[in-house]
Copies of this chain bind each other. A is one copy, B any other.
Amino acid sequence: MAKPVCVVAGVGPGNGLAISQRFAQADYQIAMLARQESTLEPLQAQVANSMALPCDLTESRDIAATFARVKAELGPPDVLIYNAGSGLFGAPLDTRPEDFTTAWRVNALGLLLSAQQVAPDMISRGGGSIIVTGATASLRGGANFTAFASAKAAQRNLAQSLSRSLGPQGVHVALVIVDGIIDTPRTRELFGDKPDATYLKPAAIADSVFQISAQDRSAWTFELDLRPSGEAW
């Protein structure tokens, strides 16, 4: 029997890599998507049974072509992890319309387009999971998170529509609210003086994402938060 297929859309050296590794460990074939081939290849080399697929997740045609290739080479995806994000910060009066637009395209439009690629096959086979990586900004528009928070809220309500529409058709949609700083070389450089207990480890995030994807359909989670023990909230 063919191994199950997991697409991780939006792979970087933090969550995306760790999630890819976690599903690989559970014997999935992994399709790793990111914009830049140069970022993607060293990461793909660290994941068993994986392929790297450069893809601009804001472009409808690029998405369609990429998912067609996944289906042709690996088979229809059993799991889609939508992990594409973007870090555009700033106050409303300093936010350029083009950055506001890009944040929305990456976080919300890209999720719709990707879900439209995988959901029909999931429905016809009677199962599948779409798990989206959110952030505290999904729930709250901070003064200096204009583009990011608006895009993440658009993504959250879209994930709800997906869940309510696809759940009764057997497809599990979930949103993981990551609240805190993810432990990567880059964030350690930026926030290096913070105590260890305030960082989220990518492997721990990945483990919860995997557990959610494996839930029995009689008790599915739509939304859960993940937060390090030392984070004030």
Contacts and interface: CB of A to CB of B under 8 A. Distances in A.
A213 to B, nearest CB: 12
A115 to B, nearest CB: 6
Interface residues of A, number: 76
A145 B172 contact: no
Interface in A209-230: 211, 215-230
* Majority-rule SS of A interface residues: helix
Interface string A129-172: 00000000100111111100111111111111110111110101
Given A108-B154, A153-B153, A224-B225, 17 more contacts: A92-B119, A92-B161, A100-B108, A100-B109, A104-B108, A104-B154, A137-B157, A140-B160, A142-B164, A150-B155, A150-B157, A150-B161, A172-B229, A211-B211, A217-B229, A221-B225, A224-B224
A119 B142 contact: no
A205 interface: yes
